[in-house]
Structure 1
Amino acid sequence: MSAYDRDYVPSEQWPTLNVLDSSGFAAYNIPESNALDGRTLTLHLDSAGEMQVRFAGGGHVELVESGAVSRHTGSVKEVDTDLFLAHFVRGDNELASVVLVLDLARGVVTVVRSSLVPGQAKGGLFAEEEVDGGGIDRDTTGRHLRTDELVGRRVQYVYGPDNAYEHIYLSENAYAWQCLAGAEKGLADVDRARVWRIRPDIYLLTWQEKVVPCDGIVILNFRANQSTGRIWGYDTEAKTTNAIAMGARAIFLNQTDHDPSTWAE
């Protein structure tokens, strides 16, 4: 069969989450950090009130929420000086995960809580997100803000020698992706995506997929041309959740800017 005889692959034939896990998303990831080990941070959140985060070492994190203590295992990475990305699946609820963007230099945090809820993706589920901002150890007024600075940008992400994707950021709420190499080679889609400006040339990107019940949350560091984060969701064959660590070399391809003045005759 030639490439020209192939049709678009039906969504029911797309690889499941666990298949993606074996295709090498972390070959170019940045190392884990122990810089926060032994520290306790108090997060003053806009919507969820006060929460304490204790970093016990070895990727172990304790949360104190409304007086209740829960213990979780995940990842902590320093993506820029005094800027950390922590992510973990809740140890007390495997259908929920948490990502923390901790900007210690500014005293600002962004929290993304993901949960699997009834939806239209495979298995009848969908990865829902709740995003909250706040201050670290004090109730600061600064926040990481939504931005359209990536709109029109086209970037290639190389996760390993045999795993690469292309992103095109279409709007403040959507992006297009295609797999150039790896388990999803030849697949493409447009999904919901949102971007927050963390620092100049450093962004938080979250997306929610329609076919595979999962969401992705990564830091895009265009100062270092590096991304790091995770995909988390539900594997419909194994009937389990999975968090896949991701890290890629980012290659800027081009920028498209639309000029409405050219639309009129």
Structure 2
Amino acid sequence: MTTYEQDYVAADLWPTLNVLDNNGFAAYNIPESSALDGRVLKLRLDTAGEVSVWFSGGGAVELREGSATTVHQASIKEVDAGLFLVHFVRADDDMAAVVMLLDLTASVATVVRSSIVSGPAKGGLFAEEDVDGGTFDGTSAERHQRTADLVGRRIQYVYGPDNAYEHIYLHENAYAWQCLAGAEKGLADVDRARVWKIRADIYLLTWQEKVVPCDGVVILNFRAGAYQSTGRIWGYDTDAGTTNAIAMGARAVFLNHTAHDPATWTA
């Protein structure tokens, strides 16, 4: 008789967010960048209006939003030439986080604002996302567009020697994941996920989990010789009663691609 190590794990027994923070999600991350130090970028966002972003050095980011000015400590990475991923938890509200994808070459930006709200996840909370497109300095550049390019792909992400996950992109709004090694080994779920095409073979992926109140925002670089992801997962730890942002960086391994052909559905 076959003996199984573990059965299906009830949602209330899943590890909380801070447990994941101790399991090496950034072993293969790319380094921080100082290339934006001293730069001021003026964004015109489609929903939020004008935002001025000053990179004063050492990861400090000053935002001017309307009449309000705030300073935040950010992670800044150049994920491709002239393409920067900036993320931070707001210094004025630790229940809110921001990710900015800034393409200086195309003068276009995508901003993801995340917040913890009442919802179906553990503790009755949920990570909500608002995604806004925009341009720099009033240019008329085309916004980053949602895409179905990843649908059907099955990809393994290795975050460290003992931490790996598998993703299957089911359709434009959902993906399935399972933990192959690490604190969540044996756990799996299907969650909301959306993908934007940024450049050839470079994508922005966001997801919102149902069980742990968190969301993830990462850049996927599937160019030959790269095949990596970098970004963060952020949310609320229901044991500690605080939010936490976990840096993520992985080597990506393409497993296969499944294409469904409706012509095969009939006899």
TM-score range, shorter chain: over 0.9
**What is the CA-CA distance between 1:98 and the residue it aligns to?**
0.4
AA in 2 matched with 1:79? V
Q: Cα RMSD (Å) of the superposition?
A: 1.1
| Secondary structure of the corresponding residue to residue 198 of structure 2 | strand
Q: Distance in 2 between matches of 1:170 and 1:214?
A: 20
Instruction: Check if 1:251 corresponds to 2:253.
Output: yes
Look up the match of 1:199: 199
Give the unaligned 5+ runs of structure 1.
none
Instruction: Check if 1:58 corresponds to 2:58.
Output: yes
Cα deviation, 1:164-221, whole Å, max 9, x if unaligned, reads 0000000000000000000000100000000000001000000000000000000000
| Secondary structure of the corresponding residue to residue 170 of structure 1 | strand
Q: 1:226 aligns with which of 215, 225, 228?
A: 228
Cα distance, 1:107–1:5 mapped onto 2, change above 3 Å: closer
AA in 2 matched with 1:233? G
Q: What is the number of equivalent residue pairs in this alignment?
A: 265
Instruction: Check if 1:171 corresponds to 2:190.
Output: no
**What is the CA-CA distance between 1:2 and the residue it aligns to?**
6.5
Look up the match of 1:152: 152
AA in 2 matched with 1:235? D
Q: Distance in 1 between matches of 2:220 and 2:94?
A: 26
Cα deviation, 1:20-71, whole Å, max 9, x if unaligned, reads 0000000000000000011110001111110001111111111000021001
Kept in 2: contact 1:107–1:138 (CA 8 A):
no
Look up the match of 2:124: 124
Q: Which TM-score applies when normalising by structure 1?
A: 0.98
Kept in 2: contact 1:154–1:169 (CA 8 A):
yes
Kept in 1: contact 2:107–2:141 (CA 8 A):
no
Kept in 2: contact 1:174–1:191 (CA 8 A):
yes
AA in 1 matched with 2:51? M
Structure 1 stretches of at least 4 aligned residues deviating more than 6 Å after TM superposition: none
Kept in 2: contact 1:155–1:254 (CA 8 A):
yes
The share of aligned pairs that are identical, in percent, is: 73
Kept in 2: contact 1:134–1:140 (CA 8 A):
no
Look up the match of 2:215: 215
Cα deviation, 1:116-136, whole Å, max 9, x if unaligned, reads 000010111100000000101
Look up the match of 1:238: 240
AA in 2 matched with 1:116? I
Give the unaligned 5+ runs of structure 2.
none
Instruction: Check if 1:90 corresponds to 2:90.
Output: yes
Q: Distance in 1 between matches of 2:175 and 2:128?
A: 17
